[in-house]
Amino acid sequence: MTTARHRDAADPRRRVPRTDAVLADPALAAAAARLGRERVKDAVAGAQQRARDGVVAPEEVAADALAALPATATSIRPVLNASGVLLHTNLGRAPLSAAAREAIDAVAGTCDVELDLGTGRRGPRGTGALAALRRAVPEASAAWVANNGAAALALVCAAFAGTGREIVISRGQLVEIGDGFRIPELIESTGARLRPVGTTNRTHLRDYAEAIGDDTAFLLVVHPSNFVVTGFTSDVDVAELARLGPPVVADTGSGLLRPHPRLPEEPDVASTLAAGADLVTASGDKLLGGPQAGLLLGGGERGAELVERVRRFPLARAVRVDKLTLAALEASVTGPPTPVRDALDATPEDLRARAAALAAALAADGVDAHPLDTVAGVGGGGAPGVELPSAAVSLPARYADPLRAGDPPVLGRVADGRCLLDLRALPPSADDVLGAVVRAVPDPEA
Residues with Cβ within 8 Å of residue 46, at least 6 apart in sequence: 65, 68
For the chain, 446 residues long, give each residue's pLDDT as a single digit of tens. 455 555 555 566 678 999 999 999 999 999 999 999 999 999 999 999 999 999 999 999 999 999 999 888 888 999 999 999 999 999 999 999 999 999 999 999 999 999 999 999 999 999 999 999 999 999 999 999 999 999 999 999 999 999 999 999 999 888 877 667 788 999 999 999 999 999 888 999 999 999 999 999 999 999 876 666 777 778 889 999 999 999 999 999 889 999 999 999 899 999 999 999 999 999 999 999 999 999 999 999 999 999 999 999 999 999 999 999 999 999 999 999 999 999 999 999 999 999 999 999 999 999 999 999 999 999 876 777 789 999 999 999 999 999 999 999 999 999 999 999 999 999 999 999 999 999 999 877 65
Identity of the residue numbered 194:
L
Could you tell me if 412 and 437 are in contact, meaning their C-beta atoms sit under 8 angstroms apart?
A: no
Could you tell me if 381 and 226 are in contact, meaning their C-beta atoms sit under 8 angstroms apart?
A: yes
Q: CA–CA separation, 381 vs 397, rounded Å?
A: 28
Could you tell me if 225 and 378 are in contact, meaning their C-beta atoms sit under 8 angstroms apart?
A: no
Q: CA–CA separation, 81 vs 428, rounded Å?
A: 12
Tally of residues, the chain: 446
pLDDT value at residue 1:
47
With b for 16 or more beta-carbon neighbours within 10 A and e for fewer, the 23-44 pattern comes to bebeebeebbeebeeeebbebb
- 3-state per-residue secondary structure call for the chain: CCCHHHHHHHCHHHHCCCHHHHHCCHHHHHHHHHHCHHHHHHHHHHHHHHHHCCCCCHHHHHHHHHHHCCCCCCCCCCCEECCCECCCHHHCCCCCCHHHHHHHHHHCCCCCCCEECCCCEECCCCHHHHHHHHHHCCCCCEEEEECCHHHHHHHHHHHHHCCCCEEEEEHHHCCECHHHCEHHHHHHCCCCEEEEECCCCECCHHHHHHHCCCCEEEEEEECCCCCCCCCCCECCCHHHHHCCCCCEEEEEECCCCCCCCCCCCCCCHHHHHHCCCCEEEEECCCCCCCCCCEEEEECHHHHHHHHHHHHHCHHHHHHECCHHHHHHHHHHHHCCCCHHHHHHHCCHHHHHHHHHHHHHHHHHCCCCCEEEEEEEECECCECCCCCEEEEEEEEEHHHHHHHHCCCCCEECEEECCEEEEECCCCCHHHHHHHHHHHHCCCCCCC
Other C-beta atoms closer than 10 Å to the C-beta of 223 total 19
Q: What are phi and psi of 444, to 5 degrees?
A: -65, -20
pLDDT value at residue 446:
57
In angstroms, the Cα distances linking 126 to 203, 328, 440 are 39, 11, 45
Within its chain, how far is the Cα of 127 from the centroid?
23
- Please report the domains of the chain, with CATH numbers, ordered by start residue: 4-68 (no CATH), 80-89+342-439 (3.90.1150.180), 97-335 (3.40.640.10)
Q: CA–CA separation, 419 vs 22, rounded Å?
A: 43
